[in-house]
Structure 1
């Protein structure tokens, strides 16, 4: 490494979830890395979570936002105070991750320092508590239909549209990575700007990684590094109303932002996508999620951006 310990700002977004955020901070504090700060952005919580977090972790930096303006806006709010680039890296974290290896951040920074073309790098992501199951290895985009997906060992409705590959390299190249644990080089913010705020939630990581790649940076996975993603927060998440709405809506935004690359099969695929997701939710009697899917598709077609009908 060019420096023994380049400086890192670890950013965690909290929204009315004291339990997961406090567990994430506690786990992060066990890191062996010697030069990082923790910044928690509270995204307009109306409960007592921010107050309780301040009391429990007085050495953590807290930023309170008056209203929930989405994931990208929260991350950008934490990056704004360091526009002088006093940190070498920003580590964007979901509050539902657990750090099983105290050397995780050390290994990620070392990989980034060894290849200055890397703009963003993530560890391999495993489910928790079922840590034998992979949640994320590699993110790819099927440009023919505008479908971003990531390779895992989970069964999925749309596996037919995915490629099957054997990933043997320690460092993998991606079209995109999910921002549950993304180490971003400060030069990326300088050259590309902040994370898109108009998506509010979901797909902003896909769009941002596309912009980062277009700027000449690489987006990588380090299979040597491992992080856990809590099942309690993610296992049924895709069928809840908030994710259902924004996943349906923002795929239309992603199409509009990349219509020069996405084929006309996007329209047929979108119809198949919504029908299969409705059938899946109907089978599980998740009627409110079906309504959210339909509203999200409607708003996406109309071009509604930023915060929508949920939360």
Structure 2
């Protein structure tokens, strides 16, 4: 029986501190053929050198950008390269992760047996070990399309969970996607740069009729914030807040936008009043809100350069 070919798409940026565990996990995979499509956003450490070293022994495509184009654009570059090579599946995967040798094959098995188009694993956090980083998610339209991880911080306990759970939202930390989804829905929206692009893509995919599922038979460990910093840090607080506004502007109805905009303002204010964040962080979030409101959103997310939708996959598989 022919093994499925899975294009692993990852975006690197000064990833030397985490790349070893990722690569070791990747090349230990059994039961599927894996190809790595690593898009590097102008790393100044040894990341690219390390990837090219592995490319001497394994199927690795390294796309070197001469500037940091962001995660959304980087993912698009990797997705297009994987689909051009005829990969059966695309697995968007953070490189601050590690996973067992059957991880990819188990995700593909579940997806193919159940005729699923988009599948996430359970994602374990490292702090504390064994805790839930992601097992279910929800997008809240009247909170400006805020995406939440349900049960985050609880015990993960994979064995007690159903094999497959239908969910409202899953992040692109680890997301297995059938090519027809990208061919139908389009790619990630570059306007987000980082954060929020997965929420936007999820909303578009679900509106196109594609369901999101989580399997408890595949578990991944995520070293959360190891590359982008803490939630209140300068980088994360800016981009998360800015793109929250952008997602809301993209997808809320007028009523949802008014209520959601009020919620964002109250959320930022409450975090200052109750000491969750200091004045510097609050000012940063206000600047990010203003930036999100000023952005020109007339350009839609890009489509694949050469779409090749197979009707046999689009009928009955959504």
Give, in angstroms, the shift of residue 23 of structure 1. 2.2
Which residue of 2 is the match for residue 161 of structure 1?
none
Give, in angstroms, the shift of residue 295 of structure 1. 2.1
For 1:133, what is the secondary structure of its paired residue?
strand
> CA separation in 2, counterparts of 1:184 and 1:219?
10
Aligned counterpart in structure 2 of residue 184 of structure 1, from 160, 172, 177: 177
**1:285-311, Cα deviation, whole Å (9 max, x unpaired):** 694x44432321121122267xxxxxx
Which residue of 2 is the match for residue 76 of structure 1?
76
Aligned counterpart in structure 2 of residue 244 of structure 1, from 227, 233, 237: 237
Which residue of 1 is the match for residue 200 of structure 2?
207
Aligned counterpart in structure 1 of residue 5 of structure 2, from 4, 7, 23: 7
**1:171-191, Cα deviation, whole Å (9 max, x unpaired):** 111222111111111111111
Q: Does 1:297 align with 2:296?
A: no
Q: Where does the alignment leave 5 or more consecutive residues of structure 1 unmatched? A: 156-166, 306-311
Kept in 2: contact 1:18–1:53 (CA 8 A): no
TM-score by length of 1: 0.84
For 1:233, what is the secondary structure of its paired residue?
coil
TM-score by length of 2: 0.82
* Matched residue count: 288
RMSD of equivalent CA atoms: 2.5
**1:202-251, Cα deviation, whole Å (9 max, x unpaired):** 11101101111111111111122111111561796212211110111011
Kept in 2: contact 1:145–1:262 (CA 8 A): no
Pairing 1:136-215 to 2, within 5 Å after superposition = 136-146=134-144, 147-154=146-153, 168-215=161-208
For 1:140, what is the secondary structure of its paired residue?
strand
**1:258-281, Cα deviation, whole Å (9 max, x unpaired):** 12286232022111221234457x
Q: Does 1:229 align with 2:239?
A: no
Which residue of 2 is the match for residue 220 of structure 1?
213
Q: Where does the alignment leave 5 or more consecutive residues of structure 2 unmatched? A: 155-159, 298-318
